[in-house]
């Protein structure tokens, strides 16, 4: 396959970006999208040019770092797939492919296709954990978990934190990511003592960096792990309950 790549290049956060055209020649249809970029970078390096910078790690659809906007679609044209799992056979010989970084105020560009997703880390730091006393690990069956709750928690925990939901949302909202990280703890018995406090803290932190959800639904369509919008509804309910409880505890009027 021979392809033309239209790649976003940007030297740094304060620099002006621009699209640069590259030829990708002799590309195997069995290559992953990242392997194709590796081949292009090898050619650029051999010509004494700077390679295209992009994030990657596990290349197995687990880590979520392979965040690319491909032809205007987060992770590319194949649904329920991370960029590293996208293969070049999804494209046709002679195609022109536009490759951009995530476009969201909460994800400032670092260089080329690399964005700063540390805002996600701050959301997790605000409450994405369960506080427990130190000591030996309890038996696995010590605390029974209803099957429905366990399956829902596992569905939420499938979120890989890639940020495709933010990139796809016209508002740059991160509700789907936050809801997944809230819900996989809130649905389990171990997460109940801090449930409302966790939700309030994580949502309040999220709103410092990202836009508001207006139920457009692009987030769940773009999500490589098919995280459901139902988790946003669960989070919103707990957020309201948590705010009411917070006001009561502080003596404020609802």
- Nearest C-alpha neighbor of 10 from the set 110, 102, 117, 116: 110
* Domain made up of 117-250: CATH architecture: Orthogonal Bundle (1.10)
- Pick the closest to residue 162 from 229, 57, 66, 56 (CA basis): 66
More confident residue, 140 or 241: 241
Q: What is the pLDDT of residues 28-84, one digit of tens each?
A: 999 999 999 999 999 999 999 999 999 999 999 999 999 999 999 999 999 999 999
Sketch the domain layout of the chain as residue ranges.
Answer: 3-111, 117-250
Question: Contacts for 39-45 with beta carbons within 8 Å, 24 or more apart?
Answer: 40/5
Domains 3-111 and 117-250 share a fold: no
Average pLDDT of span 3-7: 98
pTM > 0.85: yes or no: yes
pLDDT score for 249: 80
Sheet with 18-24: list strands edge to edge: 18-24, 3-9, 96-100, 69-70, 73-74
Please enumerate in sequence order all residues whose Cβ is within 8 A of that of 179, keeping only pairs 6 or more positions apart, or say none.
Answer: 156, 227, 231, 232, 234, 235
pLDDT of residue 134: 59
Written out in words, the top-level CATH class of the domain with range 3-111 is: alpha beta
- Rounded mean pLDDT of 170-181? 98
pLDDT at 253: 61
SS (H, E, C) 167-190: HHCCCCECHHHHHHHHHHHHCCHH
Does residue 168 surpass a pLDDT of 90?
A: yes
């Amino acid at each position: 396959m021979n392809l033309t790549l239209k790649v976003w290049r940007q030297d740094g956060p304060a620099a002006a970006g621009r699209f640069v055209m590259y030829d990708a020649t002799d590309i195997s249809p069995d290559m992953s999208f990242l392997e194709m970029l590796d081949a292009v970078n090898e050619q650029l390096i051999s010509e004494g040019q700077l390679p295209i910078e992009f994030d990657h790690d596990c290349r197995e659809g687990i880590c979520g770092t392979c965040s690319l906007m491909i032809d205007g679609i987060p992770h590319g044209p194949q649904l329920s797939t991370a960029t590293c799992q996208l293969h070049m056979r999804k494209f046709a010989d002679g195609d022109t492919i536009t490759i951009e970084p995530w476009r969201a105020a909460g994800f400032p560009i670092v260089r080329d296709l690399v964005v700063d997703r540390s805002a996600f880390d701050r959301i997790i730091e605000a409450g994405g954990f369960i506080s427990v006393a130190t000591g030996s690990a309890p038996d696995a069956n010590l605390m029974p978990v209803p099957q429905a709750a366990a399956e829902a928690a596992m569905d939420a925990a499938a979120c890989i934190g890639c940020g495709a939901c933010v990139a796809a949302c016209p508002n740059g909202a991160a509700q789907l990511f936050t809801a997944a990280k809230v819900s996989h703890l809130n649905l389990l018995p171990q997460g109940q003592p801090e449930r409302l406090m966790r939700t309030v803290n994580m949502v309040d932190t999220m709103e410092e960096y990202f836009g508001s959800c207006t139920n457009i639904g692009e987030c769940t369509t773009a999500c490589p792990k098919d995280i459901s919008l139902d988790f946003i509804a669960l989070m919103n309910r707990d957020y309201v309950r948590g705010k009411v409880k917070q006001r009561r505890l502080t003596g404020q009027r609802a």
